[in-house]
Chains A and B, each alone.
Chain A
């Protein structure tokens, strides 16, 4: 795979402030940039079924990467291994400069996680939930940070509502807000816009692009919405049966599969998985 735009991204001032500017890496052909994720030889087997099969994954600092694949391709397992929640059977993981599992807590100080399928704690107001997660992130005086975030993400009218009173779209926005309170360098998003109306999904996508533009936050996203991924990500990794089957820009992947767009490539992989021709 040729060097894509994700390789040449320059660290922003924000990243330099956090002490995460580029540093040379030896013994690796990607040593021209800093990596927020550097996983090698990842293997995960559940009851004899291979979920992730000798996966190498490098995500450059400041890039926007989509992780795609049919159901069961190993996307979520990969993400959960990168977050230190699931232990790999083999392989090494370095996230935000920390080796997992020993450096998991320090790594998570620089990582945010959003899952579209996860609820927020019930019976808490949005402001209370944000304050709690700021505490979980180790922020000593979360008040001003939380208020800033509420304003930045347009949540002022929702701040005193309880989480269970929010719509799906509002909940996703709050989830993203709680994941970026500590200004992570890497934001991991698992199906962030699942079950959202298109207009809300656009708003969420724009919030992510704004965040990336403002802070240089690296985005690692899984989604089943191909159009969304095309708009949000500059690099796409296509997985099937726990392996990477394509890696490049959305256009390059479409070309590789001789189809018009990312959706065509996705369908080709899904068809191959089912053992039939692409529709």
Chain B
């Protein structure tokens, strides 16, 4: 592992972000619009029914945590797509940068971008709805960590699919997050899902991470069992996604798919 090469990957993507104003939408526009949408919806429902007032923190905490996963996932996937869009993939592949170093660089860059995204989300939820995510306390740290790891796992799968199927797989960069959004119980307990999906959701590590966040919000203490289940599931998801990404890189090299981007 060469730190200079990893630093160069981070700098490469930082420069892309810095020079592309539209990329700042992922940090400061879409997340903020989501907060306005879901926060306002929560307040409206609460006005109609006083018992629903507790739903507002559920919505906003779920949203912040959902963007945690989404941000790292999209940064990872879009960074690789950026190389294909600009036909720079062959330039990168013919340097001494190893795939592991590239992914590590992109992941570190993703954490920096996540810090900016969480910053804009926190400021917005505090000023618009008086909700401070940090009030949850230290127990948010393992939940956020688990969601970051799950974001990387989804990113590795998407990168693998892009390597295998080309740019037609790009739609999954955005689409897979909404699978998580719909069936992981981001805003509500998965018991509210239709029966088949409810059972399936129990196998997703993200389900237990979001459920843990709600338990903490309810003042039930740290739900260690939920965190344990999520940790086991996350470890499995990461292992499978890394294997899948490496396998697709092998197929990419074997079938000469690099010529799609040169």
Q: Do A and B bind each other?
A: yes
User: Would you call B96 and A123 a contact (CB within 8 A)?
Assistant: no
Count of A-B contacts with CB under 8 A?
95
Q: Considering the complex, which residues of chain A in the window 146-190 have a beta carbon less than 8 Å from any beta carbon of chain B?
A: 188
B16 at the interface (CB under 8 A from A): yes
Q: Is there an interface contact between B20 and A123, defined as CB atoms closer than 8 Å?
A: yes
Closest 9 CB pairs between A and B?
Answer: A135-B8, A113-B94, A136-B95, A123-B19, A108-B96, A87-B253, A86-B256, A109-B96, A105-B96
Asked if A119 is at the interface (CB within 8 A of a chain B CB), the reply is yes
Within 8 A of A (CB), among B76-96: 86-88, 90-96
Contact yes or no, B95 A133, CB < 8 A: yes
B11 in contact (CB, < 8 A): yes
Q: Does A4 contact B (CB under 8 A)?
A: no
When chains A and B are docked, how far (Å) is the Cα of A106 from the Cα of B5?
13
In the assembled complex, 19 residue pairs joining A and B whose CB atoms fall closer than 8 Å, in A order, are: A77-B256, A80-B258, A80-B259, A84-B93, A85-B90, A89-B254, A105-B98, A115-B90, A118-B262, A119-B87, A119-B88, A121-B91, A133-B91, A135-B5, A135-B8, A136-B92, A136-B95, A136-B96, A139-B4
Q: Could you say which of A84, A101, A132, A138 contacts B2, with CB atoms under 8 Å apart?
A: A138
> In whole angstroms, what is the CA distance A109 to B4 when docked?
13
With both beta carbons as reference points, the residue of chain A lying nearest to B101 in the complex is identified as A105
Could you tell me the distance in whole angstroms from the C-beta of A109 to the nearest C-beta in chain B? 5
A86 touching B98 by the CB < 8 A rule?
A: no
Q: Say whether A117 contacts B97, CB under 8 Å.
A: no
Q: For the A-B complex with A80-B259, A113-B90, A121-B91 known, give 8 more contacts whose Cβ atoms are closer than 8 Å.
A: A46-B256, A83-B93, A86-B256, A86-B258, A108-B94, A118-B91, A138-B2, A139-B4
CA distance A133 to B94 in the complex (A): 11
In the complex, how many angstroms separate the beta carbon of B251 from the nearest chain A beta carbon? 10
Over the window 241-262 of chain B, the binary record of Cβ atoms lying under 8 Å from chain A Cβ atoms (1 yes, 0 no) is 0000000001001111011001
> How far is B40's CA from A73's CA once the two chains are assembled, in angstroms?
63
Q: Please give, as numbers and ranges, the residues of chain B lying within 8 Å of A279 by CB-CB distance.
A: none
Query: A108 CA to B253 CA in the complex, in Å?
Result: 16
Measured in the bound complex, the distance between the Cα atoms of B7 and A262 in whole Å is: 46
Instruction: Please report which residues of chain A, range 90-147, place their CB below 8 angstroms from some CB of chain B when the two chains form the complex.
Output: 101, 105-109, 111, 113, 115, 117-124, 128, 132-140
Question: Which residues of B does A touch, CB under 8 Å?
Answer: 2, 4-5, 7-9, 11-12, 15-16, 19-20, 86-88, 90-98, 250, 253-256, 258-259, 262
Which listed residue (B15, B88, B90) contacts A128, Cβ 8 A? B15
Q: Which residues of A217-272 are within 8 A (CB) of B?
A: none
Distance from B22 Cβ to chain A, minimum over Cβ atoms (Å): 12
Q: Specify the chain A residue showing the minimal Cβ separation from B16.
A: A123
Of B2, B12, B97, B253, the residue contacting A86 (CB under 8 A) is B253
Residue contact A123 to B90, C-beta cutoff 8 Å = no
Q: Is the CB of A83 within 8 A of B98?
A: no
CB pair A124–B256 under 8 Å, yes or no, is: no
Q: Which residues of chain A come closer than 8 Å to B262, judged between CB atoms?
A: 115, 117-118
Nearest Cβ distance between residue A264 and chain B, in whole angstroms? 30
Which chain B residues border A64 with CB–CB below 8 Å? Answer: none
Q: How far is the CA of A87 from the CA of B250 in the complex (A)?
A: 8
Q: Which of A108, A121, A139, A140 contacts B88 (CB 8 A)?
A: A121
Chain B min CB distance to A88 (Å):
9
Closest residue of chain A to B99 (Cβ to Cβ) is A105
How far is A106 from B256 in the complex, measured between Cα atoms in Å?
22
Q: Which residue of B lies closest to A77 (CB)?
A: B256
Q: Evaluate whether A132 and B253 lie within 8 angstroms (CB atoms) in the complex, with A85-B258, A106-B96, A123-B20 already known.
A: no
Given known A-B contacts A123-B16, A136-B5, A87 and B254 have beta carbons under 8 A apart: yes
Q: Shortest CB–CB separation between residue B202 and chain A, in angstroms? A: 40
A135 to B253, CA, bound (A): 24
Q: Is there an interface contact between B95 and A137, defined as CB atoms closer than 8 Å?
A: yes
**Contacting residues of chain A (49-92) with chain B, CB-CB under 8 angstroms:** 51, 76-77, 80, 83-87, 89
Q: Known contacts being A85-B94, A121-B88, A124-B19, is A80 close to B256, with CB within 8 Å?
A: yes
Tell me the bound Cα distance from A111 to B94 in angstroms.
8
- A138 near B256 with CB under 8 A, answer no
Tell me, rounded to whole Å, the shortest Cβ–Cβ distance linking A228 to chain B.
Answer: 21
Question: With a CB–CB cut-off of 8 A, which chain B residues contact A115?
Answer: 90, 262
Which residues in A have their C-beta under 8 angstroms from that of B258?
80, 85-86
Contacts of B8 in A (CB 8 A): 132, 134-136
Determine the chain B residues whose CB is within 8 A of the CB of A46 once the complex forms: 255-256
Q: Which residue of A lies closest to B5 (CB)?
A: A138
Chain B residue numbers with a CB within 8 Å of A122 are: 86
